[in-house]
Amino acid sequence: MAEPRRGATGADAGNAALLGGHAPGRAAAAALRRLRQDLFPAAPVLPRMRLAACLDRQGERSKGRLFSYVIHHRPVPGFTPPYAIAVVELDEGPRLMTNITNCPQTPEALQLDMKLEVAFETLDDEITLPLFQPVKG
């Protein structure tokens, strides 16, 4: 299906490792540590935002909860409405914007504080995005 690609094209030097690579999570975290910027977003001072470390869970899927969202009903390239644009709060504290996958995009299915786990979506050789899905069971 030749859908337009999401608008993820601009990772800068500080953040490229976070969004890039074939082995997101651990690799991203390792790369960011080499940069001494294991923060999200990469910045000199944002102590709450240790996203890279949170994504590096020794092979375990990072978990969090659905913190807030909207369900967008208008078309955007790369998306099929209605789709949720969400903010997830990781168990370790940082929050990030994301999408909820493997879940109906309805208010009934998307309950605030529901448990979620990361589900990386590889867009291409350069960009891999941390999406989230409901924790099963």
Catalog residues that contact another protein under the rule CB under 8 A. 6-12, 15, 19, 40-41, 49, 67-74, 76, 78-79, 82-83, 85-87, 95-99, 107, 112-113, 127, 129
The amino acid occupying position 34 is R
Q: Tell me whether residue 77 or residue 137 sits nearer to another protein (CB atom).
A: 77
Give the shortest CB-40-to-another protein separation in angstroms: 8
End-to-end alpha carbon distance in the chain: 31
Q: Is the peptide bond before 41 cis (omega within 30 degrees of 0)?
A: yes
Half-sphere exposure of 136 (CA within 13 A, CB side): 4
3-state helix, strand, coil in the chain (%, to 5): 15, 30, 60
Q: Which is nearer to another protein, 113 or 125 (CB)?
A: 113
Whichever of 74 and 136 has its CB closer to another protein, that residue is: 74
Which of residues 6 and 61 has its CB atom nearest to another protein in the complex?
A: 6
**Residue 29 beta carbon to another protein: minimum distance, rounded to whole angstroms:** 16
Q: How far is the CB of 94 from another protein (least distance, A)?
A: 9
Min. distance of Cβ 33 from another protein in angstroms? 19
At 131, give phi and psi (nearest 5°). -90, 175
| CA 10 – CA 12 distance, rounded (Å) | 6
